[in-house]
Structure 1
Amino acid sequence: MRPGTHVTDAILRLLSRDWAGLGIALLPAAAGAWCVTLGTGWRVLGGVLCAVALALGLGSLRHLVHVARVRVRYPPPGRMIDVGGYRMHVLAEGDAGPKPTVVWMPGGHAGGYAMYRLHTLTRERTRSVLVDRPGSGWSDPGPFPRTTAAEAVELLTALEQAGERGPYIFVGHSFGGLLMANAARRRPDLVAGLVLLDPTPPDAVAFGPSLATLRHAARDQTALALRHLFGLHALAPKNETHSPEDPARVLAMVETRTKANCAAASILRELSPGGITRVGWQTVVHDGELSPLPLLLVAPRDLTGGDKIFDTVDDPEESARVRHFFLTVRERFLSASSTARRVYTPEGTGHDFPDHVPEFVVQVVGSLLDEHAPGAPDPL
Structure 2
Amino acid sequence: MKPSKLQALRIGLGGAILVAVVVLTGIVYERIGQYRAALDFPPPGKMVDIGGRSVQLSCQGSGVPTVVFEAGLSVDGSLSWSAVQGRIAAHTRACAYSRPGLMWSDPSDAAPDGKRVATELHATLINAGEHGPFVLVGQSLGGLYVMSFTRYFGREVVGLVLVDPSHPEQVERVAGLMTESRSMLSRIGVAFAWFGILRAAAPVLLPQAPHQSERDAQAIRAYAPKSLSTQLAESDSTNRTLAEARAFRDLGSRPLVVLTAMAPYTTAELRGMKITPEQGKQVQAIWKQLHEDLATWSSRSRHQLLANSGHNIQFDDPDAVVDAVVSVVNTVRTDRRPESP
State the TM-score, normalizing by the size of structure 2: 0.83
- In 2, the alpha carbon distance for the partners of 1:227 and 1:220 equals 11
> Identity rate of aligned residues, in percent?
23
Number of residue-to-residue matches in the alignment: 326
Q: 1:175 to 1:241 in 2, by over 3 A?
A: closer
User: Aligned-pair distance for 1:337?
Assistant: 2.6
- In 2, the alpha carbon distance for the partners of 1:377 and 1:130 equals 26
Select which of 43, 56, 67 maps to 1:102.
Answer: 67
User: Aligned-pair distance for 1:353?
Assistant: 2.3
Select which of 241, 260, 280 maps to 2:227.
Answer: 260
Select which of 123, 128, 150 maps to 2:94.
Answer: 128
Are 2:209 and 2:315, in contact at CA under 8 Å, matched by a contact in 1?
Answer: no
Structure-2 residue corresponding to 1:182? 148
Counterpart amino acid of residue 198 in structure 1: D
Higher alpha-carbon deviation: 278-287 or 200-209: 278-287
Counterpart amino acid of residue 148 in structure 1: G
SS of 1:71's equivalent in the other structure is helix
Higher alpha-carbon deviation: 65-74 or 200-209: 200-209
Counterpart amino acid of residue 298 in structure 1: L
Counterpart amino acid of residue 128 in structure 1: A
Structure-1 residue corresponding to 2:302? 341
Deviations 1:117-169 (A, max 9, x none): 21111111111101100111211122142233311211111111111010011
User: Aligned-pair distance for 1:283?
Assistant: 3.6
- In 2, the alpha carbon distance for the partners of 1:344 and 1:242 equals 20
Select which of 40, 47, 55 maps to 1:88.
Answer: 55
Structure-1 residue corresponding to 2:41? 74
Alpha-carbon RMSD across the aligned residues, in angstroms, is 3.2
Query: Map of 1:292-311 to 2, 5 A cutoff?
Result: 292-300=253-261, 302-305=262-265, 309=269
Structure-1 residue corresponding to 2:3? none
Select which of 78, 84, 88 maps to 1:118.
Answer: 84
User: Aligned-pair distance for 1:281?
Assistant: 4.4
User: Aligned-pair distance for 1:266?
Assistant: 0.6
User: Aligned-pair distance for 1:67?
Assistant: 1.1
Structure-2 residue corresponding to 1:205? 171
Structure-2 residue corresponding to 1:287? 249
Structure-2 residue corresponding to 1:223? 188
Select which of 28, 31, 54 maps to 1:61.
Answer: 28
Counterpart amino acid of residue 287 in structure 1: R
Are 2:210 and 2:315, in contact at CA under 8 Å, matched by a contact in 1?
Answer: no
Structure-2 residue corresponding to 1:27? none
Q: 1:255 to 1:285 in 2, by over 3 A?
A: farther
State the TM-score, normalizing by the size of structure 1: 0.75
Q: 1:322 to 1:66 in 2, by over 3 A?
A: closer
User: Aligned-pair distance for 1:106?
Assistant: 2.2
Q: 1:215 to 1:48 in 2, by over 3 A?
A: same
Structure-2 residue corresponding to 1:16? none
User: Aligned-pair distance for 1:66?
Assistant: 1.1
Q: 1:337 to 1:235 in 2, by over 3 A?
A: closer
Unaligned runs of 5+ in 2: 1-5
- In 2, the alpha carbon distance for the partners of 1:377 and 1:234 equals 52
SS of 1:159's equivalent in the other structure is helix
- In 1, the alpha carbon distance for the partners of 2:109 and 2:221 equals 23
